[in-house]
Amino acid sequence: MSDHSDPVTTNPWQALRQFTDARIALGRAGVSLPTHAQLAFQLAHAQARDAVHLALDASRLAHDIGQPCLLLHSAAVDRLTYLQRPDLGRQLDTDSRAQLQPGQHDLAFVIADGLSAHAIMQNAAPFLALALARAAAENWSVAPLCMVEQGRVAIGDEIAELLGAQMVVVLIGERPGLSAPDSMGLYLTWQPRTGLTDASRNCISNVRPAGMRVDEAADKLHYLLTQAFRRRLSGVALKDETGAAAALPGTRSTNFLIG
């Protein structure tokens, strides 16, 4: 409890806040939230809205990545259309389709703004530096990098199919939460083609400084890619079994995916 000079009544769970970004144990002032907690909520809400509407700075991102990128656009002509018509964000416009030349590639990387260009601007370049180095070490042939404005996850299937890539990894800005406006997601698909559902994809989520670090995400992606190439599958048939190596002999794995 607070002393008589402090109008805020503290919450006994306050010590648990060190373990989560969730809004728990905020205390109260009378029957209301304390002013600082209410202002923090309003700020987080504004940051989430800004992340959704922020435009992707493609030229700056290509500079940060340090190599040429094909700049593509979905069939959603503007941000309002993108938000109202998810189906148009899953397909390329005619001009973008014409830019893609068929080839034979092991892997394609597609960078899409998604619902948070801020997440892509912050995380894509450092992540790609690690992921491309791992691909080079495996001697995987990588298709030209593609950057998509107003894109959703499934647009990567069409791009990779047109490029002739066996596997696609889509880097996309995830829907902002009230504690995470900067979260990037990674979606990988074996034998990508138009019309696949999410059941064909594996997802690595919450890639950001306060979540999964880019080096951890690059390691996890490398594991999933090597398994996908070896087993020739992805999605619900491919599980992340990296936790199994840490289990002691004779003990049950703590990874619920393989229990």
For the cut 60, the answer to whether the pLDDT of residue 256 exceeds it is no
Least confident of 82-86, 173-177, 211-215, 246-250: 246-250
The encoded tokens of residue 205 equal 């989520």
Query: Which residues are bridge partners to 74 per DSSP?
Result: 92
* List of domains in the chain: 58-239 (3.40.50.11240)
pLDDT tens track for 66-112: 999 999 999 999 999 999 999 999 999 999 999 999 999 999 999 99
Model pLDDT, residue 75: 98
Of the pLDDT bands very low, low, confident and very high (cuts 50, 70, 90), residue 258 is very low
For the cut 50, the answer to whether the pLDDT of residue 185 exceeds it is yes
Separation of alpha carbons 104 and 15, rounded Å:
55
Q: Which residue has the tokens 């259309």?
A: 81
Number of C-beta neighbours around residue 103 at 10 A: 13
Q: Is 20 helix (H, G, I), strand (E, B) or coil?
A: coil
Query: Which residues are bridge partners to 227 per DSSP?
Result: none
165 and 106 Cβ atoms separated by less than 8 Å: yes
Side-by-side strand order, sheet with 184-190: 70-73, 146-149, 105-112, 165-173, 184-190, 201-207
Q: How far is CA 150 from CA 144, 154, 196, 244, in A?
A: 19, 12, 19, 38
R_g of the chain computed on alpha carbons: 21
Model pLDDT, residue 3: 52
Least confident of 17-31, 48-62, 160-174, 194-208: 17-31
Model pLDDT, residue 259: 37
pLDDT tens track for 11-36: 777 787 777 777 777 778 877 778 88
For the cut 70, the answer to whether the pLDDT of residue 246 exceeds it is no
Enter the DSSP assignment of 19.
G
Q: Which residue has the tokens 């998810």?
A: 86
Separation of alpha carbons 238 and 241, rounded Å:
9
pLDDT tens track for 197-238: 999 999 999 999 989 999 999 999 999 999 999 999 999 999
